[in-house]
Amino acid sequence: MSAQKVLTLSELTQDQAVRVEVNGVPMAVVLDAQGEVHAIGDTCTHGDISLADGFVEGESLECWAHGSAFSLRTGRPLNLPAYEPVPVYEVTIEGDDVLIDPAVTKAVN
């Protein structure tokens, strides 16, 4: 599988997550304050909640339901109640296009 165009940069608002599906894989896409685009799994590992409905805080995305914040870089929850990470997807920017490969996840370390 290869990276697919999912959005354009102009469709993203800084610090507001957008939910997308790439080949049926739900993701939350975030343009952070440094201008970097991140894509992580959209489903909170504590419950069936869309993380894109949550809040961007620096380099994390906080689930609105019970407050676990997930690192946009590693996918790891930074606080309870969630304790399992979400996947992190490789993002490529080509001009104004945001490409994501749903088959590729960055290593969580």
Does residue 47 belong to the site contacting ligand FES (CB under 6 A)?
A: yes
Residue numbers 89-108 binding ligand FES by CB under 6 A: none
> Which of the residues 2 through 41 are near ligand FES (CB under 6 A)?
none
63 touches ligand FES (CB under 6 A):
yes
Peptide bond into 77 cis (omega under 30): no
Contacts of 82 (CB under 8 A, 6+ apart): 44, 45, 46, 63, 66, 68, 70
* Spatial distance between the Cα atoms of 71 and 35, rounded to a whole number of angstroms: 16
Contact residues for 59 (Cβ-Cβ < 8 A; gap 6+): 32, 38, 71, 72, 73
Least CB distance to ligand FES at residue 11 (A) = 25
> In this chain, which stretch among 7-15, 29-37, 64-72, 89-97 interacts with ligand FES, using CB under 6 A?
64-72
Per CB under 6 A, residues contacting ligand FES are: 44, 46-47, 49, 63, 65-66, 68, 81-82
